[in-house]
Amino acid sequence: MDFQKLLLDVGKALSKDEVKALSFLCTDILNRNPTCVESAGDLFSRLGDKDHLSAERPYLLTELLIIIQRTRLIRDLGLSDRASETRSLISPYRTLLYNLSEEINDAELKDVKFLLNNYLPRRKLDENVSTLELFLEMEHMELISDNNLNLLETIFQSVCPMLNVKISQFKALQGKRQKNNLFANLTCKNKDGEPSRHRRHGWIYSVSSCFLDLDANVFHGGDDCVALSHQLSGLNTETSPCASLDGHCKCRAALGIYPMTAAKRGICLIVNNYNFNSDSHQKREGTILDEECLDKVFAWLGFVVEIKRDCKSEEMLSVLRELGSRNHSLMDCLVCCILSHGKEGCVFGVDGNHVPIKELTKPFNGLNCTSLADKPKLFFIQACQGTIEQKAVNICTDGPARSDDSIPSDADFLLGMATVPSFVSFRDIKKGTWYIQSLCQNLVQMVPMGSDLVSILTKVNADVSQMTKSVGVRKQMPQPAFSLRKKVVFPIPEAPPPSLPH
């Protein structure tokens, strides 16, 4: 009865258009025309009859509400904790069509219908026919399908070219799935002749284990980087068919791009520690400006921004673990920004206790957060990594030093550090930190150019280096370390970029 009451409450909260959207998303599950669905209650009953929705299995409801961006309704009804890490029931193709429909305005829809005059009956192009209904008719006439979107691309090229970016990203995702299926069907034998436990993601596990064995200096640049290629070339081919770069498999696929097709890009968590209880750490004046800029930029990029302020060390860990326990299956990636005092390999809570950076990234590795597997996890750390510094007017630093390895030991991570080990990072008490301000400015300038994230961070390195020289202090050099396997390219937002301080 409680679950039925919950479904009733959801139905009352949804508009007619939202019910139609949910019905459209469930087309493949119900195996029938969604126009037959009369109400939210009717839809939920049909899903229940097919054992897709029940008190024991409410996951589909949460997934549907996330897709149509009714996240507040999820929170209000206490559904957020019900999310599952099981495979999504809604196909990426169906989600793509819904997301495309949300981006088409009335004028553009008229143009689309005009271009379809030679393909569809005129009554199917009436003014009252919605975008989703139009897509359904195109499917019915076999004009589009999950592996044939050519006509849609041709039409969008004339009406709204930006939408073809979403289709291209969807195609990239489909290609990735096909490759994964190919790897899944390969039998990898271990030394005892038994199939490998890591068959599906064998090469990912091999590269990850290689990272565990590497000295941290490999990621710090210089001649030691040569060690990385030696480690990779020595991977045992018995672990994975593609483990050895020069092995018999000879995988030479071009560097791909992580798919970015979800309605929401992902969660962007900002942990901003300003007011420290410890006598050994001063207030981090200027950090509020960093928080505001990060909030504006990542919201512009399509992220749902969450902000936590003045966290003790245990609170920081708790916040990250809770975020890692969520279902990210309908998200493209994760961003986490830590603004605090720090020392090498660690950041401080406001209680003065340190937290190893590896403990902050651990909740999101492939074993602890399966819904983020194969997706980029991006961490930006504004904190000192040592004590070496020189005087500067109106400049504060973010903390003292101790050696520790901070590189995440799993695939698909990027760790953007404000400075290299043993050095301080600098914070202007009026303008914010050099690193975060440069990061935000370059994201705003370079994302619309189609630049990938590593290229953007390279520009950040150059800018911060020039800034430090110009005010006469010891050079600060940011340090990106990563185990990314593809390029991170954010889709170009339709909204104008946010205004940032200069």
Task: Give domain status of residue 500, yes or no.
Answer: no
Task: Give domain status of residue 494, yes or no.
Answer: no
**Interval 143-193: pLDDT, tens:** 999 889 999 999 999 999 989 888 988 888 777 666 555 554 444 444 444
The parent domain of residue 165 ranges over 93-180
Report whether pLDDT(142) > 60: yes
The answer to whether the beta carbons of residues 422 and 404 sit under 8 Å apart is no
Same domain? For 375 and 478 the reply is yes
Same domain? For 410 and 314 the reply is yes
Task: Give domain status of residue 499, yes or no.
Answer: no
pLDDT band at 478 (very low <50, low <70, confident <90, very high): low
Same domain? For 83 and 98 the reply is no
Task: Give domain status of residue 105, yes or no.
Answer: yes
pLDDT band at 104 (very low <50, low <70, confident <90, very high): very high
Please tell me which residue in 242, 293, 333, 384 is annotated as part of the active site.
384
Tokens of 48: 């229940």
> 230 an active-site residue?
no
Task: Give domain status of residue 497, yes or no.
Answer: no
Taking CA 338 as the corner, what is the angle to CA 332 and CA 339, rounded to the nearest 5 degrees?
140
Residue with tokens 């930190």: 433
pLDDT at residue 430, as a whole number: 59
Same domain? For 41 and 140 the reply is no
Same domain? For 246 and 139 the reply is no
Overall pTM surpassing 0.85 (yes/no): no
Task: Give domain status of residue 259, yes or no.
Answer: no
Task: Give domain status of residue 306, yes or no.
Answer: yes
Please tell me which residue in 268, 341, 346, 440 is annotated as part of the active site.
341
CA distance 318 to 297: 25
> 251 an active-site residue?
no
Domain count, the chain: 4
Same domain? For 416 and 281 the reply is yes
pLDDT at residue 416, as a whole number: 84
Same domain? For 82 and 102 the reply is no
Same domain? For 277 and 417 the reply is yes
Find, among 399, 440, 388, the residue nearest to 416 by Cα.
440
Same domain? For 269 and 414 the reply is yes
Q: What is the CATH number of the domain that holds 80?
A: 1.10.533.10
Same domain? For 361 and 446 the reply is yes
**Interval 421-440: pLDDT, tens:** 434 444 455 567 888 988 99
| % residues pLDDT > 90 (the chain) | 36
Task: Give domain status of residue 438, yes or no.
Answer: yes
Within 8 A by CB and 6+ apart from 119, the residues are 138, 141, 143, 151
Q: What is the CATH number of the domain that holds 301?
A: 3.40.50.1460
